[in-house]
């Protein structure tokens, strides 16, 4: 309780530490009102004065709870002490039992109880001569008492102030003044004599008990009395400024001289054991004597004496106290205590020689909430500084790694070519470019780079963080390394997202391969931190990188998974839909098409095999699954629109489904169809998205095959040996496992899940199945219109069409597989029906004479071959039965011939 009251007093005395509510101007009137009325405060009739207080009531109760409960405890203690002292004072007044007890046991050594006790029970001083005599003796022996820490009680002044106001106590006041004068003039010498007596008495007592240990039991009371008397004298000496006589100084100085002159080399040769503790204690005494006021000898005026004695003390410790010397100089916490502040700590944090000792700031403060907050702040600042140094090192390393990227070799190649052909790019020629690695070449040891300075500073700071594994402060355990781990996780997360350089306004983003290079450089630096601090950096990697595979991290912030997913969907694939980018199967990449408005990015640099593998490394299986689900969401929205178009043409499509062998009737029905171009365009978009997903899945499979080859091979074995009679639910589970590993499946489980969520409540399952069938009919009968499009020309170089209609093969197969899996229909039968309708429709354009409608007839014919090649459910024999292979052969010959002539 005393500690709490003391801390509250000190806190309220410090303007910086004082609770803000006590100095808030808005609460000033309320505080004055409470102080004036306390403790009887009426809140009902004074709402205006306490209105502001009511607004902040909860916060005030929360922050001043410690103050409140401390005062409550004080009031309860005061009440209980008052109740217990009432019979006590009555007994003292009438029976003087306390006086007699003190007279018997404490006459020679009056204590605090005697001095304060008779001030409380002053009536006994007038009625009992023994009590008065004992009280005077106590007043003559000391002048002040230490209540708590630096809070003292001046006995004479307090007693005089009390008795002056009591009638008839003039004689007591005079007694107090006489005792004060006596204490000031004689107390020092009296207590000195007592100390002399106690020294000899304690020596005798120790000798007797050492000789006769059996006496310790019956004489234990005298041992404790002697120790308590010695303690009282030491405390008295500390409380009252030490008084010293020239005689004491001369004795100590003579002792120094005698001790030092008596030493000889022969003592060392004889192996004598030295003990200089007495000499060191005398030097301590002399310093204490000369530090008091009015001392005859001042060490400040005799600096040479101080230097010489400190040198002697050091050398004596090296003789008889070497182990203690090592402990004293090597252990940080034994350094002299002083008042550490946040400002001092911040300054020391940037001094290289002081950094390793910064941990001592956390070992100093042990006073309640203030010490906890300071300890937390110091550790947090140390971790932040270490984190900043690590970040700077990572930035340097990322810059060095960036120099090794293939994109920088163009300048080197260009310089080599120009040098060989002796071409000069300018008057003075192109300056020679420094090759990566030059920074590691040192001409001398004195050359210090910025990276060297960062590593040095980091090693010093990490030594401080690693000094203690844990520290206890007010029953709270602090782990300095965890602070660093936490900051590294936060910074690593921000750095990874920052290194994507995503700009939403310009839709720019870093290439996955470049980001992967930077992340690996960053991780290499973080891995090296384990050489400085005992932290589990693998845990940091797992926490951060796993979060980056999700849509949002633990703080709700976007991750690289969400950033790249949005960019590929909203930027790259949107430009494909706009006709500015095409998918080239031969290159397995998306490539920019020559257009009037050049794009701000090169699609190939973001979608080729190496980039997709880098993306898979960064996002991992979870991130790639999220990417797939986002792609499927776009596909499902396109399918929903296609179904609406089917519903609009349901009657015509129903008739065309059964009239494919009637050319004239089919031609008439086809003219009644609406939104034919929209159907083909939406199916092409679906095919483009599925083509991009196939690139992503293939890259994921390649990456996982490197990391977990045995697990991937097991998954492949599962997929390749599914019996045809297997239940579809079981098969879909295997497909889902395979898809997660990047393996291609006959039926795409992600697409099935996405399309399954589209079931309408108002439409029966039979009607849904019919719409799915008619959708395939709609696509099949619409394919001939593609021949009239100029962009439908097949290019052997890219193994596809510039308007991406070659992606229809993938769209038709996977949409059919997913829809008829959902509706439990026969995928093979429906694709056979589609092939029959499509081949019949395409054969009709072979009879057309209008060149505009048959411009790219052969290129469109090839779609049938692509559909069969892409499908696990169709065969070339089936295609031969519907569409003569000779037409396909001639079509390939024609498009290749056309390609050669156009390139020539």
- CA distances to 63, 165, 577 from 784, rounded to whole Å, are 79, 120, 21
Across the range 713-726, mean pLDDT stands at 86
Other C-beta atoms closer than 10 Å to the C-beta of 625 total 18
pLDDT tens for 309-319 read: 999 998 998 88
Across the range 811-832, mean pLDDT stands at 92
Of the candidates 700, 694, 689, the one whose C-alpha atom is nearest the C-alpha of residue 615 is 700
Across the range 131-139, mean pLDDT stands at 86
pLDDT tens for 403-413 read: 888 877 777 78
> Which range has highest mean pLDDT (164-178, 242-256, 489-503)?
489-503
**Dihedral angle of Cα 371, 373, 379, 381, to the nearest 10 degrees:** -130
Q: What pLDDT score does 97 carry? A: 46
- CA distances to 254, 262, 279, 288, 303 from 258, rounded to whole Å, are 6, 6, 10, 21, 21
Q: Residue 347 — pLDDT band, cuts 50, 70, 90?
A: low
Q: Residue 748 — pLDDT band, cuts 50, 70, 90?
A: very high
CB 370, CB 343: distance < 8 Å: no
Say yes or no to pLDDT of 430 above 80: no
Q: What pLDDT score does 396 carry? A: 87
Q: What pLDDT score does 424 carry? A: 53
CB 451, CB 396: distance < 8 Å: yes
Of the candidates 551, 563, 549, the one whose C-alpha atom is nearest the C-alpha of residue 623 is 549
Instruction: Indicate the pTM of the whole model.
Output: 0.64
Q: What pLDDT score does 360 carry? A: 55
The torsion angles phi and psi of 800, rounded to 5 degrees, stand at -175, -170
Share of the chain above pLDDT 90, in %: 34
- Segment among 253-262, 432-441, 551-560 with least mean pLDDT: 432-441
From CA 267, how far away is CA 479, in angstroms rounded? 51
pLDDT tens for 195-237 read: 999 999 999 999 999 999 899 888 899 999 999 999 888 888 7
**Dihedral angle of Cα 756, 758, 762, 765, to the nearest 10 degrees:** -30
From CA 537, how far away is CA 73, in angstroms rounded? 49
393 vs 350, higher pLDDT: 393
């Amino acid at each position: 309780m005393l500690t709490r009251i003391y801390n509250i007093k000190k806190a309220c005395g410090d303007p910086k530490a004082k609770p803000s509510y006590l100095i808030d101007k808005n609460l000033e009137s309320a505080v004055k009102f409470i102080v004036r009325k306390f403790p009887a405060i009426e809140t009902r009739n004074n709402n205006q004065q306490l209105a502001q207080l009511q607004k902040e009531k909860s916060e005030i109760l929360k922050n001043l709870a410690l103050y409140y409960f401390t005062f409550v405890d004080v009031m309860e203690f005061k009440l209980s002490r008052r109740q217990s002292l009432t019979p006590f004072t009555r007994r003292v007044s009438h029976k003087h039992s306390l006086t007699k007890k003190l007279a018997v046991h404490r006459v020679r050594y009056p204590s605090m109880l005697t001095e304060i006790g008779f001030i409380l029970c002053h009536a006994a001083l007038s009625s009992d001569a023994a009590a008065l005599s004992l009280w005077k003796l106590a007043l003559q022996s000391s002048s002040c008492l230490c209540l708590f820490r630096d809070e003292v009680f001046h006995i004479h002044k307090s007693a005089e102030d009390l008795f002056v106001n009591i009638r008839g106590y003039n004689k007591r006041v005079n007694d107090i003044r006489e005792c004060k004068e006596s204490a000031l003039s004689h107390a020092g010498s009296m207590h000195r004599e007592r100390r002399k007596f106690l020294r000899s008495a304690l020596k005798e007592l120790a000798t007797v008990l050492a000789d006769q240990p059996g006496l310790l039991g019956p004489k234990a009371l005298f041992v404790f009395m002697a120790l308590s008397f010695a303690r009282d004298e030491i405390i008295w000496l500390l409380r009252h400024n030490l008084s010293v006589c020239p005689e004491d100084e001369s004795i100590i100085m003579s002792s120094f001289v005698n001790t030092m002159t008596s030493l000889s080399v022969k003592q060392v040769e004889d192996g004598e054991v030295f003990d200089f503790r007495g000499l060191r204690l005398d030097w301590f005494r002399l310093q204490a004597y000369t530090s008091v006021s009015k001392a005859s000898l001042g060490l400040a005026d005799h600096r040479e004496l101080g230097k010489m004695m400190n040198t002697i003390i050091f050398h004596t410790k090296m003789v008889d106290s070497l182990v203690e010397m090592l402990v004293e100089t090597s252990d940080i916490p034994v350094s002299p205590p002083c008042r550490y502040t946040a400002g001092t700590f911040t300054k020391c944090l940037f001094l290289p020689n002081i950094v390793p000792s910064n941990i001592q700031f956390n070992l100093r403060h042990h006073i309640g909430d203030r010490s906890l907050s300071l300890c937390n702040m110091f550790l947090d600042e140390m971790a932040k500084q270490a984190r900043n140094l690590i970040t700077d090192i990572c930035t340097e390393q990322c810059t060095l790694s960036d120099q090794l990227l293939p994109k920088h070799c163009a300048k080197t190649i260009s310089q080599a070519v120009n040098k060989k052909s002796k071409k000069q790019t300018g008057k003075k020629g192109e300056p020679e470019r420094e090759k990566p690695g030059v920074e590691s070449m040192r001409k001398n040891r004195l050359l210090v780079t910025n990276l060297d300075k960062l590593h040095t500073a980091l090693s010093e700071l990490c030594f401080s963080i690693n000094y203690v594994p844990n520290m206890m402060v007010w029953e709270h355990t602090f782990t300095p390394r965890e602070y660093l781990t936490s900051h590294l996780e936060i910074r690593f997360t921000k750095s990874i997202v920052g290194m994507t350089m995503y700009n939403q306004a310009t839709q720019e983003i870093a290439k996955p391969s470049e980001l992967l290079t930077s992340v690996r450089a960053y991780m290499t630096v973080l891995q090296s931190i384990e050489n400085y601090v005992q932290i589990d950096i693998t845990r940091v990697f797992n926490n951060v990188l796993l979060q980056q595979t999700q849509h949002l991290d633990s703080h709700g912030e976007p991750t690289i998974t969400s950033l790249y997913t949005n960019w590929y969907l909203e930027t790259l694939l949107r430009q494909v839909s706009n006709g500015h980018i095409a998918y080239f199967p031969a290159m397995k990449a998306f490539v920019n098409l020559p257009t009037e408005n050049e794009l701000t990015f090169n699609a190939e640099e973001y979608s080729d095999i190496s980039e997709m593998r880098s993306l898979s490394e960064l996002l991992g299986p979870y991130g790639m699954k999220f990417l797939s689900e986002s792609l499927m969401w776009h596909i499902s929205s396109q399918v929903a629109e296609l179904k609406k178009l089917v519903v609009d043409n349901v009657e015509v499509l129903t008739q065309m489904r059964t009239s494919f062998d009637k050319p004239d009737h089919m031609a008439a029905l086809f003219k009644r169809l609406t939104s034919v171009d929209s159907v083909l365009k939406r199916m092409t978009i679906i095919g483009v998205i599925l083509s991009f997903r196939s690139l992503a899945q293939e890259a994921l499979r390649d990456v996982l095959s490197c990391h977990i080859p045995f697990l991937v091979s097991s998954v492949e074995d599962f997929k390749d040996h599914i019996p045809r009679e297997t239940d579809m639910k079981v098969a879909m589970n295997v497909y889902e496992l395979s898809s997660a590993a990047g393996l291609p499946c006959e039926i795409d489980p992600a697409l099935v899940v996405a399309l399954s969520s589209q079931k309408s409540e108002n439409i029966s399952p039979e009607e849904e199945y019919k719409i799915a069938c008619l959708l395939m009919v709609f696509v099949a009968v619409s394919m001939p219109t593609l021949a009239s499009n100029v962009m439908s020309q097949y290019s052997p170089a890219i193994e596809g069409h510039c308007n991406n209609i070659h992606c229809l093969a993938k769209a038709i197969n996977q949409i059919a597989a997913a829809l008829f899996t959902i509706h439990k229909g026969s995928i093979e039968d429906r694709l056979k029906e589609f092939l029959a309708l499509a081949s019949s429709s395409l054969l009709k354009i072979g009879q057309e004479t209008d060149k505009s409608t048959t411009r790219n007839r052969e290129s469109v014919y090839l779609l049938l071959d692509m559909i069969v090649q892409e499908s696990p459910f169709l065969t070339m024999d089936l295609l031969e039965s519907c569409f003569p292979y000779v037409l396909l052969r001639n079509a390939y010959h024609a498009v290749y011939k056309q390609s050669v002539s156009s390139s020539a």
